[in-house]
Structure 1
Amino acid sequence: MRTTVRTATAAARPTGSRRSSGCPGSKGGVMRKTAGILLLAFSAAVAAQNFPSKTVRFVSGVTPGSASDTMARILAEKLQQKWGQPVIVENKLGAGGLVGAKYVADSAPDGHMIMMYASAYTVAPLLSPNVLRFDELTPVAAVATIPTVLVTQPEKYKTIQEFVAKAKASPGKLVCADAGIGSATHMAFEKFRFAAGIPDVLNVHTKGVGEAITEVVSGRADCYFALVFQARKMVDSGKLVALATSSPKRSALMPNIPTTEELGYPNSHYNFWVGTLVPAKTPKAIVDKLHDDITALVESPEVNEKIRKLGCDPLPMSVKEFDDMIAGEIKENTALIKKAGIKAN
């Protein structure tokens, strides 16, 4: 099943009264408040030292076998060995990952429930704000980026320049597949489309990456920004050609395919990332521990190599850097969604 969419005064104290020693502004009140803050900080530190104290769950919003799901399982295996507690992966599918994200957001903020999300996190809540707010989750650790490449049938287009020229010459006739409304594959094309000056196209929103690439192989769609590890097999077999890479840099799996920006389309790259988030009220000490442990694994030779074999590039960064990256993308995607007229189903 596919969906086709065309886009273009505080109260005064009584006179003469004295402040009770229990009022917040009194010396005793201040001391009690300070003691309370110190107690909370101490409790959080102790909780972090004892973390994890039970089974930890990674929640994946995509199907088993997907790149982000596979990365969650790689991390789960290694973290279980490090922590001495079970670490499992649960799949909660639906609404561009929002079902899983909301499930995590509503869980106890103790670090034992972790959302393995992708860049769709900076899109899906914009399209479905009644499901999840951005302030319900807090970023922990970025894990990797997943390059995508623009694929088409060999007999249709030989170069990206030819592709763009034909799309401009026939407004509204180019049929473009993607893995769903607001998916990274959809947003990657929309960003490239505007950078290249391509007018209206016919978007075919499928149920996932497998169906999307089938649309192109069959000829029902003209193009699709495919995940690089997905595209390489089809390109190597001659069924498809790859015209450009949408990521900020070339993919190690397909290093001969230049980026869209290398090919002369400024501000056309799309950053398809995978990372971890937890409920917003999770203590900072636990967030920091999770970040440090996950990032150490991402930087380790063994996990680093496994990530690269998936066609992905490890993306270690600080919590602040990850938070800033997300904030920037939310702003950018808000503008892109408005410009492209993207709406949720």
Structure 2
Amino acid sequence: MRGVVKVGLAGALLFAIGSVSASAQDYPTKPVKLLVAFAPGGPADSIARLIGQKLNERWNQSVIVENRGGAGGNIAAMQAAKADADGYTVLVTTSAFAVNQTLTKNPGYTPDDFRAAAIVATTPNLIIGAPNLKANNLKEAIELARTEKMTYGTAGAGTTPHLSAERLFKLEGKVDIPHAPFTGAGPATQAVLGSHIPLASVALSAAVQNVQSGQVKGLAVTSKERVKALPNVPTARELGLGDADDTTWVVFFVPAKTPDPVIQKINADVNAILKDSDTEAKLEAIGFMPVGGSANDAEAYVKSETARWGEIIRRVGLEPK
């Protein structure tokens, strides 16, 4: 009788494993939600919509983009951490995910709640100025801030554009410009466009078209070299403001217990999309560089970025909130 029980248990276990493998192999069999951690118009949103459309075509399933901005990306991350670990809720967020581990006392989740499925793309950070700003580059803007009251906007506290600005203003420029956090790079850019605030630090992709059209001023990029999309915008290095190479990255995360085959499926299909010439052209047009790589590469990259931005936070002197 005991032997029958053992065989029965073993059979049930094998059946359960087989069911998980089968469901993972068939993934996706229903709509997939891309939960974007910031408002429309920012880097995470732009990537989610571009890659989501391509995934829709490959999977023949609806890929729904849902924006849940706020708290520097933490609100969406908390929601995604509680989602079913089946691959049907994918968190699309930025390097704010790495920053928040140091800058936020209790973000409502831990890195162990997630696994990185794919590094999608990176983009430099960009400092922009209002049309009526009496400065044409970042060095001039910093000098202006010594005599005039100024504030700068970002997609939220804890985003890498926020930290880039703090480093450039406080450590390199020796000036303290108050920070005005928004729910996303889109709203921050619109505030500068309307001259409601004089400056903003955003991912390049969020404001590249506004700079190209002359709606806002491009004051500096945080990359090592000038970017093709904005050849007339100097690097912070050129202006004598340090030598850092700061980027905003976009990564797809899933809940930690998501089956490996599902993660590999997401990773493989995102990588295939990134190698497509049409995707590359569309990414370059908005200031992104495709990255790709394995899910293990993504995990290692996020860990290294968490350590790097943690050190920058300490140097700038920001206190966890």
Normalising by structure 2, we get a TM-score of 0.81
Alignment of 1:221-240 (within 5 A): 221-236=197-212, 238=214, 240=216
2:228 pairs with one of 245, 249, 252: 252
Q: Provide the identity percentage.
A: 28
Partner of 1:320: 296
C-alpha contact 1:44 1:285 (8 A) present in aligned 2? no
Distance verdict in 2 for CA 1:323–1:249, change over 3 Å:
farther
- The equivalent residue for 2:3 is none
Shift of 1:228: 3.2
Measure, in 2, the Cα distance between the counterparts of 1:249 and 1:297: 27
Which runs of 5 or more structure 2 residues have no equivalent in the other structure?
1-5
Structure 1 residues 10-21: aligned runs within 5 Å? none
Gapped regions of structure 1 (runs ≥ 5): 1-28
Structure 2: distance between partners of 1:57 and 1:213: 26
Deviation of 1:266 after TM superposition, in Å, equals 3.9
**Pairwise CA distance, 1:229:** 4.7
State the shift of 1:310 in Å. 2.5
| Local SS of the residue matching 2:39 | coil
Output the CA distance in 2 between the equivalents of 1:227 and 1:315: 16
**Larger Rg: 1 or 2?**
1
Q: 1:120 aligns with which of 92, 96, 115?
A: 96
One-letter code aligned to 1:133 = T
Does 2:258 correspond to 1:282? yes
Within the candidate set 114, 133, 140, 1:137 is matched to 114
1:175 is matched with 151
Match of 1:95 in 2: 71
In terms of mean alpha carbon deviation, does 138-147 or 252-261 score higher?
Answer: 252-261
- Give how far 1:219 is off: 5.7
Q: Counterpart of 2:256 in structure 1: which amino acid? A: A
Q: Cα 1:251–1:98, aligned 2, differ >3 Å: closer, same or farther?
A: same
CA contact (8 A) 2:42 2:205 kept: no
| 1:77 and 2:53 matched | yes
Contact 1:178 1:206 in 2 (8 A): yes
Q: TM-score when scaled to structure 1?
A: 0.76
Q: How far apart in 2 are the matches of 1:88 and 1:236?
A: 30
Q: 1:151 to 1:277 in 2, by over 3 A?
A: same
Whole-Å Cα distance in 2 between the matches of residues 113 and 339 of structure 1? 36
1:184 to 160, 169, 172: 160
Aligned-pair CA distance for 1:43: 5.9
Distance in 1 separating the partners of 2:148 and 2:299: 37
Contact 1:171 1:200 (8 Å CA) reproduced: no
Q: Is the 8 A contact 1:172 1:202 kept in 2?
A: no
- Using the TM superposition, name which of 158-167 and 241-250 deviates more: 158-167
1:247-274 per-residue CA deviation (whole Å, 9 max, x = no partner) reads 3543331023232234444442321011
Q: Distance in 1 between matches of 2:189 and 2:56?
A: 35
Match of 1:53 in 2: 29
Q: Distance in 2 between matches of 1:302 and 1:91?
A: 25
Aligned equivalents of 2:308, 2:115: Cα separation in 1: 19
Counterpart amino acid of 1:157? A
Q: Which amino acid aligns with 2:33?
A: R
Q: Is the 8 A contact 2:39 2:186 kept in 1?
A: no
Q: 1:292 corresponds to which letter in structure 2?
A: A
Asked if 1 retains the 8 angstrom alpha-carbon contact of 2:124 and 2:204, the reply is yes
Look up the match of 1:307.
Answer: 283
